[in-house]
Amino acid sequence: MNDKLKIGITCYPTLGGSGVVATELGKLLAEKGHEVHFITHSMPFRLGKFHKNIFYHEVEVSEYYVFRYPPYDLSLASKLAQVAKMEDLDLLHVHYAIPHAVCALLAKQMIGSKLKVVTTLHGTDITVLGQDHSISDLIRYAINESDAVTAVSKDLIKETRESLDIDRDIDLAYNFVDKRVYYPRDISKLRGEFARPDEKILIHISNFRPVKRVQDVIEIFAKVSKTVRSRLLFVGEGPDLSKMISKVRELGLTDKVTFCGKQDDVAQVISLADVMLLPSEKESFGLVALEAMACGVPTVGSNAGGIPELITHGETGYLAETGDTEKMAEHVIHLLTDTEHYEQVVQNCLYRARHTFCNDITTVQYEEIYYRVLGRELPESHRIVDSFCQ
Ligand code: GMT
Q: Residues 269, 297: contact at Cβ < 8 Å?
A: no
| Shortest-distance Cα residue to atom 21 of ligand 1 | 283
Write phi, then psi, for 229 (nearest 5 degrees). -65, 120
Determine what percent of the chain is predicted with pLDDT higher than 90.
Answer: 83
Question: Is the distance from CB of 300 to CB of 326 less than 8 angstroms?
Answer: no
- Across residues 157-163, what is the average pLDDT? 95
* Amino acid found at 102: V
In ligand 1, the atom with minimum distance to the C-alpha of 127 is 22
Ligand 1 atom showing the smallest separation from residue 153 Cα: 14
When pLDDT is averaged across residues 201-211 and rounded to a whole number, the result is: 97
Q: How far apart are CA 127 and CA 140, in angstroms?
A: 13
Say whether 362 sits in a helix, a strand or coil: helix
In this structure, which residue's CA is closest to atom 4 in ligand 1? 16
CA 180, 184, 188 angle in degrees (round to 5)?
130
- Of the CA atoms within 13 Å of residue 241, those in its CB half-sphere come to 14
Residue 1 predicted with pLDDT over 70: no
- Considering the segment(s) 6-176+358-389 as one domain, its CATH architecture is 3-Layer(aba) Sandwich (3.40)
Strands (E), the chain: 6-10, 35-40, 54-58, 91-95, 116-121, 148-151, 171-172, 200-206, 230-236, 257-259, 275-278, 299-302, 317-320
Of 111, 108, 103, 15, the closest CA to residue 59 belongs to 103
Q: Report yes or no: 37 and 138 within 8 Å, Cβ to Cβ.
A: no
Q: In what order do the strands lie in the sheet with 35-40?
A: 54-58, 35-40, 6-10, 91-95, 116-121, 148-151, 171-172
Question: What is the four-CA torsion angle of 231, 235, 238, 244, rounded to 10 degrees?
Answer: 0
Asked whether 218 and 245 are in contact (CB, 8 A), the reply is no
Query: Is 49's pLDDT higher than 80?
Result: no
Please list every protein residue whose CB sits less than 6 Å from any atom of ligand 1. Answer: 16-19, 21, 122-124, 152, 175, 207, 209, 211, 282-287
Sheet-wide strand order for 200-206: 257-259, 230-236, 200-206, 275-278, 299-302, 317-320
Q: Identify the pLDDT of residue 131.
A: 82
Q: Report how far ligand 1's centroid is from the alpha carbon of 384 (Å).
A: 29
Tell me, in angstroms, the distance from the centre of ligand 1 to residue 128's CA: 11
How many angstroms separate the alpha carbon of residue 290 from the centre of ligand 1?
12
Determine the distance separating the centroid of ligand 1 and the alpha carbon of 318, expressed in angstroms. 20
Predicted pLDDT at 46? 80
Please indicate whether the domains covering 6-176+358-389 and 188-355 agree at the CATH topology level: yes
CA 15 to centroid of ligand 1, rounded, Å? 10
pLDDT for 14: 81
The predicted structure's pLDDT at residue 384: 62
- Between the CA of 274 and the centroid of ligand 1 the distance, in Å, is 23
Residues 3-43: pLDDT tens digits?
899 999 999 998 789 999 999 999 999 999 999 999 999 99
How far, in Å, is the centroid of ligand 1 from the Cα of 169? 22
What was the pLDDT predicted at 50? 78
Atom of ligand 1 nearest to the CA of 282: 23
Eight-state DSSP code of residue 235:
E
pLDDT at site 385: 62
The residue whose CA has the least distance to atom 9 of ligand 1 is 17
> pTM here?
0.94
Task: Ligand 1, residue 290: give the atom nearest the CA.
Answer: 16
Q: Rounded distance, CA 345 to CA 310, Å?
A: 14
Q: Which of 98, 122, 237, 282 to mutate to test the pocket of ligand 1 (most atoms within 8 A of CB)?
A: 122
**What are the extents of the domains in the chain?**
6-176+358-389, 188-355
More confident residue, 246 or 123: 246
* pLDDT above 70 as % of the chain: 98
The residue among 18, 117, 4, 114 whose CA lies nearest residue 53 is 4
Q: Which residues lie across from 200 on neighbouring strands?
A: 230
- Give 81-139 pLDDT, tens digit per residue: 999 999 999 999 999 998 999 999 999 999 987 999 999 999 878 877 778 888 899 99
Least confident of 12-16, 162-166, 295-299: 12-16
- 378 band by pLDDT with thresholds 50, 70 and 90: confident
Residue of higher predicted confidence among 140 and 64: 140
Q: Compute, in angstroms, the gap from residue 287 CA to the centroid of ligand 1.
A: 7
- Closest to 249 in 3D by CA, of 224, 222, 228, 210: 222
Average pLDDT score over residue span 60-86: 91
Tell me the pLDDT of the chain averaged across its residues: 94
CB atoms within 10 A of CB 14: 12
Q: Rounded to 10 degrees, what is the CA torsion of 180, 182, 186, 192? A: 160
Substitution site in 10, 18, 120, 278 for ligand 1 pocket (most atoms within 8 Å of beta carbon): 18
CATH number of 188-355: 3.40.50.2000
Helix, strand or coil, per DSSP, at residue 211: helix
| E-assigned strand segments in 104-173 | 116-121, 148-151, 171-172
Q: Is the pLDDT of residue 168 over 90?
A: yes
With beta carbons less than 8 A apart as the criterion, state whether 300 and 275 touch. Answer: yes
Closest atom, ligand 1, to C-alpha of 211: 23
